[in-house]
Amino acid sequence: MPASRSVVIGVDSSTQSAKAVAVDADTGDLLAVGRAPHTVTGSAGARESDPDQWWTALVTAVRAAVRDAGVPASRVTGIAVAGQQHGLVTLGADGRPLRPALLWNDTRSAPQAAALAARLGGPAAWLERTGSVPVAAVTAAKWQWLREREPEHAEAVRGVRLPHDHLTERLCGVAVTDPGDASGTGWYGPAGGAYDKDVLDLLGLDPALLPAVAATGAGRAGTLTPAAAEALGLPGTVAVAAGTGDNMAAAVGLGLGGAGLLDHPVVSLGTSGTVFAATRTRPAAPGLSGFAATDGTYLPLGCTLNCTLAVDRFATLLGLDREDAAPGGGVVVLPYLDGERTPDLPHAAGLVTGLRHATAPGAILGAAYEGAAFTVLRALDELLAACGLDPAASAVRDRPLRLIGGGARGRAWTGTVRRLSGRPLVVPAAGELVALGAAALAAACVTGADPVALATAWGTGTGELLPPVPRDEETWERIAGVLAEATPGLLG
């Protein structure tokens, strides 16, 4: 690359790992990717991680990306972090974490979520205030769990952060978040663009403990602190963007802004399964999260807890490779190994039914794929309906889905989604869309450009178009019937 070109760094700090991309800020060329793992601990609904480990992984990943890009560190001009949503990071008087972070998929806070949802006028009022009805995943429920179960920690808290907020603060020393990630807390109102005082009062949460909300995730939070610059091996002049949540960054990486409505709804297959679309209107539905996009428009989203990780667990139990799947036939698997968020069954367990002597292991694995894909696509139908669209209408079904996440690289996942959706798919060629979206935020922070326009010019959301196949209505109806019959038994 020419000597005058600048490099930006985008970080995807997810549940399982940190990934950092080094990107040519002008062309969007991906120069290198660095990776480092995270550790998640806990059982019986608990899911926690050490925030200091996130920082160590970020440093390792960024250093690897800059090294492998083969460019001088002096060429790096900006950095942004996109992080897993909802996690609760509690800081003490010294600015360090008081305890491991409670992660989005920690379901111990389900009772607190239900109790909160009944307050302040009930679910409809929560939808109006925050865009979402409290569930176990949201940060508000986790904070309430901490107050009730670990009051000594809650009393000692001097700062409350989301995962990406915490890492941004480690980079630049400024407590800042953005509208997108803030909209997943349960105490921020996307419509008003501010923290909700009544919700904070209900939670006994002092707003002084929270980060300021930047206008956008591309807003400049500051520059690297001397300590961060030394740790990363980068100049102290590197600009730090406010960053955002992982789903919001993926939308940026795909070039999704608020100008249109659901031209290409997104299905993301990762540890969790998510469906989302960018829109300028805010649909309100109890089963959806009415998130803000990082630019302050809207990103309605449905999320399931059990996706690729749950299916991989079935492959391990069966002694199969993850691609050794066959259609489930008469077998139905509801792979709710970690409880479930959509549908809201936080204490559910997995269910397998329809086994015969002749059932092959590959069919059981295929049924796990089908159960997970059904749950994600069912959430997509809810999202479309909430936006005023008929999911069964041909004009809607003819619109391609954008399939992203680790599962989008798998033959079994892609085939299952095609078969159960009956829709064309676009599989973007870029593999690190969250990190690339963060890189676009970093570049926009440096140049003042629009990050979605930058990502669109970079072409990060383009890819192969897979034509539709006939929808497998029989399998869909069979899974739907089992779910309807089994729901009472899935509740622990």
Helix (H, G, I), strand (E, B) or coil at 155: helix
Would you say 107 and 491 are in contact if contact means Cβ atoms under 8 Å apart?
no
Q: Which residues contact 208 (CB under 8 A, 6 or more apart)?
A: none
Radius of gyration for the chain, computed over Cα atoms and rounded to the nearest angstrom: 21
Q: For residue 21, what are the CA distances in angstroms to 60, 252, 434? A: 12, 15, 10
The two beta strands, 401-404 and 266-269, are parallel
State whether residue 392 is helix, strand or coil.
coil
Residue 94 to residue 32: CA distance in whole angstroms? 35
Catalytic residue among 246, 295, 338, 344: 246
Six-digit token string for 389: 């669209």
Any alpha helices (H) in 233-360, and if so which ranges?
246-253, 308-318
Q: Is 246 a catalytic residue?
A: yes
Q: What is the DSSP letter of 109?
A: G
Residue type for 434, please?
V
Cα angle 367, 423, 366; round to 5: 10
- Which structure tokens are listed for 39? 């550790």
Cα dist. 293→250, 265, 330 in Å?
10, 14, 41
Q: How many whole angstroms from its chain centre is CA 366?
A: 25
H helices of 103-239, where? Answer: 110-117, 123-130, 139-149, 151-156, 163-172, 179-182, 197-203, 226-232
Cβ-proximal residues to 442 (8 Å cutoff; 6+ apart), any chain: 8, 9, 10, 25, 78, 79, 80, 239, 241
Q: CA-CA distance, 178 to 187, in Å (whole number)? A: 13
Q: Are 178 and 242 in contact (CB under 8 A)?
A: yes
Single-letter code of the amino acid located at 377: L
Closest CA to 33 of 4, 1, 65: 65
Of 66, 98, 82, 68, which is closest to residue 231 (Cα–Cα)?
Answer: 66
* In contact, 475 and 370? CB cutoff 8 Å: yes
Report d(CA 64, CA 301) in Å as an integer.
33
Residues involved in catalysis: 246
